Structure 1
Amino acid sequence: MPQRQVKAAILLIGDELLSGRTQDVNLQALAKFLAPIGVQVAEARVVADIPEAIVVAVNALRARYDYVFTTGGIGPTHDDKTADAIAAAFGVPIDVREDARAILQAHYKSASPLNEARLRMARIPEGASLIANPVSKAPGFQLGNVFVMAGVPSIMRGMLEDVGHRLEGGAVVRTATLRAKGLREGDIAAALGELEEAADGVVTFGSYPWFSPPDSFGVHLVARSADADALEKAAADLARLIESRGAEPERSE
């Protein structure tokens, strides 16, 4: 029996993302981390540091997907509003928790003092479990199927060490990529659509053009499937398609 597909959503939180001040890299890092576990990212959203917007997004996504991962908004400043919004989304109280306080107290005792601002990072919604932070110590947390992590990429990646073992994955979707120099998408669009239709959902196909100035161009054709045999057949079909258009297929992973 085929394994169930486990799907996740990623919610990126922060005014700095929407203003263009900060370029997000967490979506890619999370997707690459989750894929080998058998968790497919099916949706991603970006919202501002507005509690009401975070609540609406979290409640919509956690009802639709197996897991939700949020990044951003759990720091010590006034615009870090994610923890309160998560508590509101679940309808639970939030306060400084002693185990989180102890982590921060141990970290800051030899450096800066644990002041009121830093203590904000120990405010955890009732019923949540902490996510360890090996980089800067201030913990994230998990509440239900929602994992709340830092927005700073290096800290978020560190937190993933305490996330993977909590996830129950499903079918692992693998990819096959073929590079075709000199082809344009219009050359293969109709035939690629026919392959997708014939695959009947077992394999999905994508086409991604590339350009290398001044005059080199082509496409990457990608097949994705949780069925290894179907994936290999799809790769062979793509190779034949490329050859039929007078180009040389190059397999790249």
Structure 2
Amino acid sequence: MTKWAFNMALFREYIGNYMKTKLTYRADFWVEVVADLMFSATNLIFIFIVFQHTPALGNWSEAEVVFVYGYFMIPYGIFGTFVNLWNFSERYIVKGEMDRILTRPAHSLVQIMLENVDPPSLIGSFVGLAIMGSAWTTLGLPFHWYDPLVLFVMTIGSVLIYFGMYTSLASISFYSDAPTGIVPLMFNIQNYGRYPIQIYNKGIRFLLTWVLPFAFVGVYPASFFLGRHGDLGMSLLTPVVGIVVGAFGLWVWNRGVHRYRGAGS
């Protein structure tokens, strides 16, 4: 059996166990779903409130900003479903569960991702797709045969950026198990990617494009579909940046695992 087939078999087993657990405690599942929907609704309402006080954000209309937010939700929902590393340091380093992970046949990162899979987060992706579709209609954008394929490729690139960034942050725990507070900071920074990059000053634009490339999880790929804001070059860089950042995150993780010497080290 190939590694890919083995990992897929593990994924089916973990999803099966997850569903059995949630069928036993169904209220927990729906609480998670409602919480995610409320979070998305709050962010969307904030955009509407902003446009109650201004006719445009930079030269972006309300429908265009909503379109970008809809795209932003798609890769974020996928990332939240399959790459749930928020409590990695506390659970796997401080409590010593990383020792157990390293005795399993699957790659350590794959094993941790499977243990923390969170299907309710995927609902956010479908909501984002609906928001994007609604804004698409409002803006009267043309629909081309290749748009679904482009959306798929862009989404994969954006997910890889999330993967690389947060895997790199989680890997810091291999070097220091002390809380750093970086993850909440990074979570706040990533939200800048759901707004037009042009409204920021040059320093922030550079930061969000080349240092912490969260502009590629929202505004750049979404602008591919927006005629007058289309930045084709930056949009098409999304999968490339995703591969580079994702590969870097995996490299940092593997380096951290090799350094890890067990609980108490």
TM-score w.r.t. the length of structure 2 is 0.24
Say which one has the larger Rg: 1
Greater strand share, structure number: 1
Higher helix share: 2
Quick one: higher RCO (CA 8 Å, sep 6+), 1 or 2? 2
